[in-house]
Amino acid sequence: MGEALIAGLLRTKTVEKDRILVGEVARDRREYLSQTYGVECTSDNRDVARRSDILVLCVRPREMTEALASIRDSLTPEKLLVSVAAGVTTKFIQRTLNKRVDLVRAMPNNPCTIGEGMTVLATAEGTPANRLEEAQRIFASVGRTLNLEEYLFDAVTGLSASGPAYVYLFIEALADGGVKVGIPKNVALVLAAQTVLGSARMVLETGEHPAKLKDLVATPGGTTVCGLFELEQGGLRAASMRAVEKATLRARELSSQ
């Protein structure tokens, strides 16, 4: 996700490369990021914290405590801290730091890597609205953003953060269906993926309810309604709802650990 943000910020010209400083412990990754994007890289997170106005923590949840400890003494009240660690609450971060800092929590998803992501943002208690706007500008470089209360983040994890995997599975299944009726696999994948992409853009750009758009395709007695009947018989709708629910419950379990 850190690399996706670097690429997005530079691609959209949100910031210049000389305004980006990367903290990375792995030498090969530092060399790769520096050569690929022309940004300065260091292994010293304290140096990053001292020299930066906005710090984006792109670390695994289990690494968060160590990461916070490494930058704590370099944090000052005027800095903004943004966390993308799944399951790590703003209260946990504030408690671990035990000092005043503006804080935003972000939940992006996998398509951010191609600039088509969905990121949900929430501010910690006491963080002013203008800091949320700063975080929005960062994540707008890799897709859409929405602001929600943090108590909804486990549900966001179950829907938009885990959701791409559900969609990939559906694309694969559609393509396999095409293969079953005689379409070559490589062609079927393109047909399925573009169909999902176009349908998603129809929902977003028209603002119409998916049910209305579905009805525009499903003419009485036609091919589409026969296919829809099979999906309903197979429980696609209920299975999709249960997938979001189960992922949400798991996210809630992880958040409480």
pLDDT digits (tens, 9 = 90+) for 216-234: 999 999 999 999 999 999 9
- Residue 254: its pLDDT value, please? 81
Report residue 30 as tokens: 């530092």
Residues 55, 80 contacting (CB under 8 angstroms):
yes
Q: Which percentage of the chain shows pLDDT scores above 90?
A: 93
Q: What is the largest CA-CA distance in the chain?
A: 69
Listed by start position, the domains of the chain span 2-153, 163-256
Residues 30, 22 contacting (CB under 8 angstroms):
yes
Q: Which residues pair with 107 in a beta bridge?
A: 120
- CATH value of 2-153 in 3.10.310.30, 3.40.50.720, 3.40.50.10860, 3.40.50.740: 3.40.50.720
Q: What is the pTM of this model?
A: 0.92
Residues 178, 192 contacting (CB under 8 angstroms):
yes
Identify the CATH class of 163-256.
Answer: mainly alpha
The amino acid sitting at 89 is T
- Residue 15: its pLDDT value, please? 95
Q: What is the pLDDT of residues 18-63, one digit of tens each?
A: 999 999 999 999 999 999 999 999 999 999 999 999 999 999 888 9
- Residue 257: its pLDDT value, please? 63
Q: Which residues pair with 40 in a beta bridge?
A: 21
Q: What is the pLDDT of residues 158-193, one digit of tens each?
A: 999 999 999 999 999 999 999 999 999 999 999 999
The mean pLDDT of 143-151, rounded to a whole number, is 97
Residues 124, 95 contacting (CB under 8 angstroms):
no
Q: What is the mean pLDDT of the chain?
A: 95
The mean pLDDT of 77-105, rounded to a whole number, is 93
